[in-house]
């Protein structure tokens, strides 16, 4: 999926494994910030999947992740994301 | 994982493919088995998310946590968890778990199964394990029907709901699960729906920390069979119903929390009490009887 | 000591430390003794709510590392059938003791029979293999019980210990050797570390190594058709691979598993084939026949399943007839007939149970065979 | 033709079996032929691969399996990958065009016709009727069974209260099929 | 109509008015249809809490006068074993439908097998006899179901209707005749008045007449060994008398119960013995072999139990070999071998289940047999 | 009966042998099977006396009363009653009775069995039949143990009692039977001991008259195994205990009537309420659904 | 068993099938009038059985009969006994 | 004598099996012989007929059943009726004299000795020890096993806490046996 440019105030973002999404819309309906929507495309199984259409509103609260019955999406706070990525980088270097 | 997409520009770090993030639930799952078999909008997966969060926060060593399921859609949970996991026979996860726990008391044993499995064919084991206060956490995903076999009437199907073996509407009364668990002696009884993800995750955490027979009812939609046959829309519609009709009543008398077809849902933590577990009773009893000759079975428990 | 108690002692000596059971005549004394003995030995007995629960509680305990057993009689065994299949497909070492009483149904609760022989072979749905032993005295209840546990560990199949009411309630002196003199087979623990270990990968002997819950292997065990990792894989090729191993580990070891006791077989023209208590009841009939000058031999099956077909086949080439007394209406005799394959006569001496054969009944058939 | 063999493949939840069933029913009851349908579904009747094998014949049918289908109706990429190689030379493939992005090489003389059935179904308001769109498409292009027969079989096989929707789905697929044939014929001419 | 639905219609046509069941793939459609159909027909369907309950609820209903059935698949059948023995000893007419799936244990829930054949014969403890039928098409699911009910009434034994997943889910046209054209066997009601009637007194045909609860006969029915009055009498002579009748009523009628369908048997040198779906799968293999000039016949067992031994014995005298394909790892072939008694070759074509044989596999064995 | 002796002179009628009186319970029993198998002082026989008196006073046509037992000492009751009587398998009298009743709703069906039979192996059937409000009267003779098999621990064995499989004393908690029955939905729940013969007989009568799932617990001594092993004397000693420690509390909350080893016994009629039976629910439901096309199953019930 | 002569005020009496009695003493202990006692003799099974030692006190209440687990004893009011006997006589004549 | 066969018969609840067991135990453990005991009890292990068959032998015992007993210990009329006809000529019958009112005709040379064991047991305070009285009687009159052996076997076989009572019961039976023998010998002399 193509990245979407967020507004400055974005505090979080989501990752989606589009191929395992079954289009149930839980993430979309229960996102407190209403920042994701269905894609127009189908995935291989014929489902529409979520895309972050208002990234500036995403808090990274991961409610979408807790709701998603297919482990297809998760949200992350950008702060945490940085930490995780740095940690991973450090690990990679160590290895 | 390379097929995860991220709005990378949102943070000031450049995301190279090898940095793609993995869903934080993945380490708790048998990744190689995802995607799972559950239908679109099936609530079971959501309960698993809550369980994973409860597990994570419990601080338990995952090598000492075992999960046991029966047969059914929910019965497949064990097979997706990256724990010692046992997919047993229909209705029998509790006695299997009993053997597992008693043979190695250091294990934290979780039984995770469906309403039909635990309360139709498996009802007796539930009642007796609760009576004995066997140290097990039992999670029941209640979707009001037998999902795996195509949506037949379950002892949890509300009167009035249509299911394949009650094709003109169910005319049986259903069990009030928290009440039954309470009546048989469970030490912790809670009900949440998959709409209540935070509370359900917290209940899982509390249940994992509790000693004795713990019962958590997780109401979940079965859109493929139950919702569709009853013209209730798909999963998201059911979650909306859960949201609208739920009333949180901690400590509610379990007698009063029975469910009706699309009616009010009382959720909350209903019971949280102390009672000696079966194994502790045995150890105490034998210590009293045999004195020093008796070696505490399962090692000495640190009094917590 | 009676046979029931001796069986309990045998299990203890074999290392059994977990028993789940449900009372049923004439088997209950086994678990009653276990309940008496176990607190100071450091093991666990639990009386479950029924036989279904007992038969799967032991499987849970086996996966936590214990040697396990349950004890029952016909009606209880009928309720355990689903879990026998589950034990077979998950390859869980376990021993089922069946103290046989008269049937079918509630039948003759306090009286003997040997009529569950086919049931233990075929009672669960689908294809699978088991091992069944048949003791004929309290001493053997002790000795063979150790063998039963050892075989369960060696082959990872449910092993049936086929007693009957007479043997269970027969009292004779039992000599219990020093623990050091008893050969006990330990579980086939893997030496592989978690990452490399696959629960259902086996080498040539077809029996996979085992681990237990709590050791960090994060195993998955299922009653569904599964691959080497233990994961469900519901497709014909996986089924084929799994079934060939499940059956093969017994079928390929049939010869190794033969345990028969012969008497006067060298010159025998007529061979009495028996097992369990019937082997003792046949004694006087055989003696009497030999007194009358007939060349009668005795072949006693200590292991009844897998059936020692090759032994019978060999004998069939040179004897005149087989006489098969059993406390049922003709079960193991069917196997004898099949093995004999028309080479010689097979005479069944069925018995409806409730008591044992009169030696005279067996003698009559021996004489008939001699004619 | 004394025997037509057909395989319908897709995913659990797409109505694969019903699709095969309607075609079989149309053949046996309304067109007076013998028909046998065999189902093969995944471990749990949902999510995983799923297929129906339909044999339609003038004679009673003994062996009920389809080894070399004359026709395929495909609703997933996996089904296409698995079944197209079995197709009889000169056979016909009907497929959901958005769910089968990569059609494997066809045997000699075979044709493949696609239809965006899921999208049509969504347009009609319920993605569940995708299988009926496929049935309509089949009726439109296959030429094996009469329109009426298939329509009757559809009406007979869907739950009461959904007949209208299903008829529209059927018609949508049928029309699309006819148009496509027409177009192809024009192109060919 | 598919096989499951046809089986339901057959049961209704046979007069079945009471079904208790518990869902299990691939059998559930039978009871789902029954639940749909029965309210306006005047009968009763109840989904019980498990298979144990279902299998005895129907026996209760039978004693209240109804024709009864339960429907399940392997795992459920394993749980019913105790009540099969109870039905046998109480001589309760009843039909058990087993839509066979891959096993053992949970195995392959949605895929076919024929691996419960031995289980239905031997799965309950003690000695008893049953009847088992094996349909191969939806039409036969209808027709033979009527026969199954009739046999249950005629012999008062549990009758097994051995479908498999393929037949259960196969859709074909089913012709349902007028009710008047269907021959339905009524219960063997007694004509004796209460004082004179004894529940288990039978004349030469060994099958006692029946009454039902509520008619003033004040019967007693027990799973214990019982005398003619139905009273418990736990002693060997009563056991003997009871067992001889329980087994005799089937064993003595073995010839009458034979239902086999032959094809090309007249000149056959090789005979394929099959049952159920395998009989249809064998078709192309036999045709192909005959095309290649081999004299291959086909013997299909419609009634598998009691086993049609005499038919096989007859054929064994003149054919070169039997080829026995079945969707299991060798079950009915054991009976064939026993009947053949070494007279000729028997070639097993086992299959682990999950799908049917490739006709080629069967052909290969036929060719091997011809060599 | 000629072997009955009478103090004939007490009345002014000369008793000739042909006039010797028969015990009035005899017509209700299968005379030819008496003496029965129960031990000296076994309380089961006394419960049968109470049942007979209840039956007699119920005014029911005995040809329409059926009795179903499981396996156990109590399980033999069916075989002694001169009714259509069924001795089934261990734990399964309730589903058998369910089939019997549903196949012929005109029958009054009584289930008469032991505590182990009904609540250990058979527990699930009890719970589900109560949930469904199946129209059955269930009499449980509770002797706190498995009599028939030699006195093992039952789910009704009080903590502290010694039984053969709890040879050093039972350390499990037992079920409170009336509470369980109540929780699952029984419409009539009473407990009496065999000391309370009059009250027990009356409960039997009331139970026979009641429509729906009726549960009567009859506490009885098992002198041979339970009393002797616990050094409680013989049957008569147990009856004296019953007499001394019983407190009649009609309408007591079933939660509070649990039993302890030789402790207080709350007896009485605890529950007596109305609830539609399973069959009535079905009939009403189908009548609503199908209207005139539906023929009431089991004929038209006269209102009560 | 030999009959015992009652005092005048007797209102009831008991019948005992001595051979089936198992000597549990329920009848004796719970007889409200305390009018029965154990025999000295054994019956064939080795049990002592009840004998009416104070017939004058027997009310015929049949509590002994309700308690007796072996259906070995029952009490009857003399009034009822007469009725039953007359009824039986009448029946016998009719037959 | 290389083999002695014994049958104990009575009713469930009388302790028939234990009686046989003690005799067998005395023989095998304390007298160094082989012994086999077979139980036969009624349908429910209580109330109905019940018997034990004991074989005591210098050699290992194959066939464990007693067809023609050398000795009988009888505690009920039914047992007497059933077993006395099987007695070996010259055999010995010991019986509870009040419970076996009608002794069937004895085979040639056989003797029968009675003891009111139930009454003795009642006098000792518990009718349950009637079987131990019979064991004592056996030890006193049979001459097959030593007093000490049997006494040890008794102590070994009864529950702790009841040993005293049981010893007294054993002694009571033993003494009565010895007296009886003495009297008979006198009478005979
Ligand atoms: C002994 C046995 N009986 C029946 C079945 C069929 N069966 C499989 S899952 C299931 C019910 C599952 O219902 P539930 O426990 O509610 O789980 P869900 O699928 O709804 O999550 C049944 C009846 C079986 N596998 N084994
Ligand atoms: C399937 C099965 N399991 C076990 C038994 C053995 N059995 C017979 S009666 C009984 C228990 C009886 O206890 P309870 O119901 O309390 O009756 P009681 O004898 O105490 O009256 C048991 C376990 C059996 N007959 N069948
Ligand atoms: S992380 Fe939170 S805000 Fe962002 S999409 Fe998910 S639910 Fe919405
Ligand atoms: S919750 Fe998960 S499966 Fe559902 S639409 Fe969102 S990403 Fe897809
Ligand atoms: S059938 Fe129902 S419970 Fe099962 S996976 Fe589908 S939605 Fe979930
Ligand atoms: S064992 Fe107990 S319950 Fe059974 S008959 Fe004897 S006293 Fe009664
Ligand atoms: S009838 Fe009444 S008063 Fe007379 S003996 Fe019996 S209990 Fe006592
Ligand atoms: S109550 Fe009955 S059994 Fe007991 S002593 Fe009295 S008569 Fe005898
Ligand atoms: Mg469910
Ligand atoms: Mg009891």
Question: Where do the structural domains in chain A lie, given as residue ranges?
Answer: 12-94
Enumerate the residues of chain F whose CB falls inside 8 A of the CB of residue G80: none
Residue F299 predicted with pLDDT over 50: yes
- Closest residue to atom 4 of ligand 6, CA basis: F147
CA of F180: which chain B residue's CA is closest? B183
Protein residue closest via CA to atom 11 of ligand 1 = B146
- pLDDT > 70: what percent of chain F? 92
**Quick one: what percent of chain B has pLDDT higher than 90?**
91
Mean pLDDT value of segment H52-70: 93
Q: Give me the pLDDT at residue A84, please.
A: 83
Whether C176 and C271 map to the same domain: the answer is no
Q: What is the DSSP letter of H26?
A: I
* Residue numbers of the domain that contains E300: 259-370
Question: pLDDT-derived band of residue H144, with 50, 70 and 90 as boundaries?
Answer: confident
pLDDT score for E351: 98
Which CATH number characterizes residue F66's domain? 3.40.50.970
Distance from CA of E32 to the nearest CA of B (A): 5
Mean pLDDT over B130-148 rounds to 98
Q: How confident is the model at residue B139 (pLDDT cuts 50, 70, 90)?
A: very high
**Is the pLDDT reported for residue H1 higher than 60?**
no
Q: Residue B98 in 3-state DSSP?
A: helix
> Is the CB–ligand 2 distance for residue F189 below 6 Å?
no
Phi, psi at C37, each rounded to 5°: -85, -30
- Tell me the best of C27, C55, C72, C75 to mutate to test the pocket of ligand 2, counting ligand atoms within 8 Å of each CB and taking the most: C75
pLDDT at G54 over 60: yes
Q: How far is the CA of G69 from the centre of ligand 8 (A)?
A: 7
Give the model confidence (pLDDT) of E142-156 as tens digits.
999 999 999 999 999
The verdict on a CB contact (< 8 Å) between C232 and D42 is no
Asked if residue E248 has pLDDT above 80, the reply is yes
pLDDT of residue F304: 40
Using the atom order of ligand 3, give the atom closest to the CA of residue A30. 7
Q: CA–CA separation, E64 vs E217, rounded Å?
A: 12
| pLDDT for res H161 | 87
Q: Is C170 on the interface with H (CB under 8 A)?
A: yes
Instruction: Show which of C165, C181, C197 is a domain's final residue.
Output: C181
Domain count for chain E:
2
Taking an 8 Å cut-off on Cβ atoms, the answer to whether F185 and B171 are in contact is no
The answer, yes or no, to whether residue F302 has pLDDT greater than 70, is no
Nearest to C75 among F90, F153, F167 (CB): F90
Residue nearest to atom 3 of ligand 3 (CA): A58
Residue E238 lies in a domain: no
pLDDT band at H88 (very low <50, low <70, confident <90, very high): very high
Which of D65, D68, D86, D149 is the best residue to mutate to test the E interface, defined by the most E CB atoms within 10 Å of its own CB? D65
- Give the closest of F133, F183, F278 to B179, CB-based: F183
**Which residue from F35, F37, F40 is facing H44, i.e. has the nearest CB?**
F37
Are both E145 and E274 inside the same structural domain? no
pTM of the prediction?
0.96
Give the C-alpha separation, D76 to D95, whole Å: 8
Task: Tell me whether residue B100 is in a domain.
Answer: yes
C103 located within any domain: yes
Tens of pLDDT along F244-294? Answer: 999 999 999 999 999 999 999 999 999 999 999 999 999 999 999 999 999
Distance from CA of F201 to the nearest CA of H (A): 27
Contact C50, B124 (CB under 8 A): yes
- Nearest bound ligand to CA F73? 2
Residues of B in contact with F175 (CB under 8 A): 131, 184
Arithmetic mean of pLDDT, D133-158 = 90
CB proximity B231 to C under 8 Å: no
Does the beta-carbon distance from C224 to D42 stay under 8 Å? Answer: no
B/e letters for B243-275, b = 16+ CB within 10 Å, e = fewer, are eebbeeeeebebeebbbebeeebbbbbbbbeee
The CATH code of the domain that includes D128 is 3.40.920.10
C24 lines ligand 2 (CB under 6 A): yes
Q: For residue A8, what pLDDT is reported? A: 55
DSSP H60-88: PPSS---SS-SEEEE-SHHHHHHHGGGPP
Whether ligand 7 lies within 6 angstroms of the CB of G58 is answered as yes
Dihedrals φ, ψ of A16, to 5°?
A: -130, 130
> What local confidence, expressed as pLDDT, does residue C120 receive?
98
Ligand 1 contact via B148 beta carbon (within 6 Å): yes
Q: Are strands E108-112 and E94-102 parallel, antiparallel or unpaired?
A: antiparallel
Kindly give the pairing relationship between strand C131-133 and strand C303-305.
Answer: antiparallel
Closest residue, chain F, to E82 (C-alpha): F89
Ligand 4 binding residues, C-beta < 6 A: A 21-27, 49-50, 67-68, 70, 72-73
DSSP H or E stretch at residue G2: none
Q: How many domains does chain H have?
A: 1
In the stretch 193-252 of chain C, residues with CB closer than 8 A to chain F read none
Q: Can you give the pLDDT at residue H27?
A: 78
Cβ of G43 below 6 Å from ligand 8 = no
The predicted structure's pLDDT at residue H188: 56
Number of structural domains in chain B: 1
The residues with which B265 forms a beta bridge, in sequence order, are B246
**Helices B177-184 & F177-184 angle (0-180, nearest 10):** 180
F174 lies in some domain:
yes
F64-123 residue pLDDT tens:
999 999 999 999 999 999 999 999 999 999 999 999 999 999 999 999 999 999 999 999
pLDDT band at B7 (very low <50, low <70, confident <90, very high): very low
> Which atom of ligand 7 sits closest to the CA of residue G34?
8
Please state the rounded mean pLDDT for residues C77-101: 98
F195-234 confidence digits (pLDDT tens): 999 999 999 999 999 999 999 999 999 999 999 999 999 9
Residue A59, ligand 3, Cβ within 6 A: yes
Mutant choice from B164, B166, B171 vs E, greatest count of E C-beta within 10 A: B164
Same domain (yes/no): C302, C153: no
Q: Which residue, among D36, F25, B44, has the nearest Cα to G68 in the 3D structure?
A: F25
Q: Quickly state the pLDDT bin for B17 (edges 50, 70, 90).
A: very low
User: B59-73, D52-66, E159-173, F171-185 — which is least confidently predicted?
Assistant: D52-66
Centroid of ligand 3 to alpha carbon of A12 (angstroms): 7
B160 touches chain F (CB under 8 A): no
The residue from C136, C166, C181 where one domain ends is: C181
Say if residue E293 is in the same domain as residue E172.
no
Asked if pLDDT for residue E162 goes beyond 70, the answer is yes
- Find out whether the peptide bond into F90 is cis, omega within 30 degrees of 0: no
Are C159 and C288 members of one domain? no
CB contact under 8 A, G85 and F19: yes
> Residue H173 is part of which domain span?
3-188
Residues E176 and E266 in one domain: no
Residues in F touching B284 (Cβ below 8 Å): 171
Q: Which residue of D has its CA nearest to A41?
A: D98
Residues C163 and C270 in one domain: no
Q: Which residues contact H88 (CB under 8 A, 6 or more apart)?
A: H5, H68, H69, H70, H107, H110
Q: Which residues of C touch F165 (CB under 8 A)?
A: 21, 23, 31-32, 35, 45, 47
Touch H-C: 3+ C-beta pairs under 8 A: yes
Structure tokens at H22: 């003690």
Residue B20 clears pLDDT 90, i.e. is over it: no
3-state DSSP helix/strand/coil percent for chain B, to nearest 5? 40, 20, 40
Domain range spanning residue F149?
A: 13-273
* Count of CA atoms in the C-beta half-sphere (13 A) of E68: 29
pLDDT at F303: 41
> What pLDDT is recorded for position F10?
44
Q: Which CATH number fits domain G12-94: 3.30.70.100, 3.30.70.20, 3.30.56.10, 1.10.760.10?
A: 3.30.70.20
Q: What is the pLDDT of residue G1?
A: 41
**Of F3, F46, F234, which has the smallest distance from its Cβ to G67's Cβ?**
F46
Answer with the residue of higher pLDDT: H43 or D110: D110
Instruction: Quote the CA–CA distance of F187 and F208 in Å, as a whole number.
Output: 12
Specify whether C51 is located in the same domain as C165: yes
C306 preceded by a cis bond (ω within 30 of 0): yes
* pLDDT value for H149: 87
Pocket of ligand 5 (CB under 6 A): B 38-39, 42, 44, 73, 143, 147-148, 222-225; D 46
- Interface touch E280/D24, C-beta < 8 Å: no
First to last CA, chain F: 40
> Subunits touching H (CB < 8 Å, at least 3 pairs)?
C, E, F, G
pLDDT band at F3 (very low <50, low <70, confident <90, very high): very low
pLDDT digits (tens, 9 = 90+) for E53-89: 999 999 999 999 999 999 999 999 999 999 999 999 9
Q: Percent of chain D, pLDDT > 70?
A: 95
Query: Residue E280 falls within a domain, yes or no?
Result: yes
Reported confidence tier of residue H140, pLDDT bands at 50, 70, 90: very high
pLDDT of the residue at D189: 52
ipTM, two decimals: 0.96
Instruction: Indicate yes or no: CB of G44 within 8 angstroms of CB of H118.
Output: no
Three-class SS state of C74:
helix
pLDDT for the residue numbered G92: 76
E166 shares contact with chain D (CB less than 8 Å): yes
> What does the alpha-carbon distance between residue F88 and residue F113 come to, in Å, rounded to a whole number?
10
Give residue for tokens 């144990």.
E52
SS3 of residue B171 by DSSP: coil
pLDDT of residue G8: 55
């Amino acid at each position: 999926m193509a990245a979407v440019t967020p507004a400055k105030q974005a505090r979080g973002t989501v990752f989606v494994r589009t191929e395992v999404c079954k289009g149930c819309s839980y993430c979309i309906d229960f996102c407190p910030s209403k920042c994701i929507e269905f894609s127009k495309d189908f995935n291989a199984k014929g489902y529409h999947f979520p895309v972050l259409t208002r990234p500036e509103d995403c808090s990274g609260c991961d409610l979408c992740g807790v709701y998603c019955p297919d482990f297809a999406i998760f949200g992350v706070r950008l702060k945490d994301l940085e930490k995780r990525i740095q940690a991973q980088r450090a690990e990679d270097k160590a290895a | 994982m390379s097929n995860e997409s991220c709005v990378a520009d949102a943070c000031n770090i450049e995301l190279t493919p090898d940095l793609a993030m993995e869903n934080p639930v993945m380490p708790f799952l048998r990744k190689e088995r995802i995607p799972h078999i559950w239908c679109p909008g099936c609530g079971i997966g959501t309960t698993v998310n809550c369980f994973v969060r409860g597990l994570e926060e419990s601080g338990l060593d995952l090598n000492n946590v075992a999960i046991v399921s029966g047969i059914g859609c929910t019965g497949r949970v064990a097979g997706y968890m990256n724990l010692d996991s046992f997919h047993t026979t229909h209705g029998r996860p509790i006695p299997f778990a009993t053997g597992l726990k008693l043979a190695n008391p250091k294990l934290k044993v979780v039984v995770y199964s469906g309403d039909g499995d635990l309360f139709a064919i498996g009802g007796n084991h539930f009642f007796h394990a609760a009576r004995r206060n066997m140290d097990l956490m039992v999670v029941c995903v209640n979707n009001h029907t037998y999902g795996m076999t195509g949506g037949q009437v379950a002892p949890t199907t509300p009167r009035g709901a249509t299911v394949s073996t009650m094709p003109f509407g169910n005319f049986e009364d259903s069990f009030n699960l928290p009440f039954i668990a309470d009546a048989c002696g469970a030490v912790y009884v809670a009900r949440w729906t998959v709409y209540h993800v935070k509370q359900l995750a917290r209940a899982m955490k509390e249940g994992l920390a509790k000693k004795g027979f713990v019962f958590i009812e997780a109401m979940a939609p079965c859109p493929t069979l139950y919702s569709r046959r009853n013209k209730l829309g798909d999963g998201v519609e059911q979650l909306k119903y859960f949201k609208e009709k739920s009333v949180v009543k901690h400590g509610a008398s379990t007698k009063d929390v029975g469910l009706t077809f699309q009616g009010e849902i009382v959720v909350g933590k209903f019971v949280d009490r102390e009672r000696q577990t079966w194994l502790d009773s045995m150890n105490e009893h034998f210590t009293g009887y045999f004195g020093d000759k008796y070696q505490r079975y399962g090692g000495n428990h640190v009094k917590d | 000591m009676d046979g029931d108690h001796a069986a309990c002692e045998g299990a203890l000596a074999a290392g059994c430390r977990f028993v789940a059971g449900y009372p049923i005549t004439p088997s209950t004394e086994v678990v009653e003794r276990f309940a008496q003995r176990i607190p100071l030995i450091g093991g666990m007995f639990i009386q479950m709510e029924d036989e279904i629960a007992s038969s799967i509680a032991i499987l849970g305990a086996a996966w936590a590392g214990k040697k396990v057993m349950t004890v029952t009689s016909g009606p209880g065994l009928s309720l355990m059938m689903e879990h026998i299949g589950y034990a077979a497909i998950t390859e869980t070492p376990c021993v089922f003791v069946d103290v046989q009483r008269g049937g079918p149904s509630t039948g003759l609760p306090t009286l003997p029979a040997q009529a569950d022989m086919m049931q233990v072979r075929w009672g669960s749905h689908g294809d699978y293999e088991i091992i069944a032993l048949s003791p004929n005295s309290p001493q053997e209840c002790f000795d063979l019980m150790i063998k039963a546990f050892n075989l369960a560990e060696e082959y990872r199949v449910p092993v049936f210990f086929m007693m009957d009411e007479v043997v269970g309630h027969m009292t004779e002196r039992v000599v219990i050797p020093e623990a050091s003199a008893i050969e006990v087979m330990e579980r086939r623990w893997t030496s592989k570390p978690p990452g490399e270990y696959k629960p259902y990968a086996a080498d040539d002997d077809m029996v996979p190594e085992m681990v237990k819950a709590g050791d960090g292997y994060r195993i998955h065990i299922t009653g569904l058709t599964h691959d080497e990792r233990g994961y469900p894989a519901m497709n014909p090729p996986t089924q084929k691979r799994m079934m060939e191993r499940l059956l093969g580990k017994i079928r390929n070891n049939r010869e190794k598993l033969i345990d028969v006791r012969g008497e006067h077989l060298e010159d025998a023209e007529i061979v009495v084939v028996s097992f369990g208590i019937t082997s003792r009841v046949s004694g006087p009939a055989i003696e009497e026949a030999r007194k009358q000058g007939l060349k009668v031999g005795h072949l006693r099956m200590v292991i009844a399943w897998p059936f020692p077909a090759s032994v019978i086949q060999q004998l069939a080439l040179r004897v005149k007839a087989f006489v098969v007394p059993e406390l049922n209406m003709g079960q193991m005799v069917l196997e004898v007939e099949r093995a004999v394959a028309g080479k010689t006569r097979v005479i069944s001496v069925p018995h409806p149970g409730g008591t044992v054969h009169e030696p005279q009944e067996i003698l009559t058939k021996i004489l008939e065979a001699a004619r | 033709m004394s025997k037509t063999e057909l395989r319908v493949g897709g995913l659990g939840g797409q109505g694969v079996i019903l699709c095969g069933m309607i075609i079989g029913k149309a053949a046996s009851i309304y067109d007076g032929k013998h028909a046998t349908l065999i189902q093969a579904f995944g471990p749990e009747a949902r999510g995983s691969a799923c297929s129906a094998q339909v044999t339609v014949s003038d004679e009673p049918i003994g062996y009920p399996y389809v080894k070399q289908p004359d026709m395929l109706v495909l609703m997933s990429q996996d089904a296409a990958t698995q079944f197209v190689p079995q197709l009889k030379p000169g056979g016909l493939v009907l497929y959901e065009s958005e769910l089968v992005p990569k059609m494997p090489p066809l045997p000699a003389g075979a044709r493949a016709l696609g239809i965006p059935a899921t999208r049509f179904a969504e347009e009609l308001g319920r993605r569940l009727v995708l299988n009926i769109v496929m049935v309509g498409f089949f009726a439109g292009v296959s030429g094996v069974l009469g329109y009426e027969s298939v329509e009757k079989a559809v009406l007979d096989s869907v739950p009461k209260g959904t007949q209208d929707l299903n008829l529209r789905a059927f018609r949508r697929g049928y029309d699309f099929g006819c148009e496509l044939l027409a177009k192809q014929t024009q192109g060919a001419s």
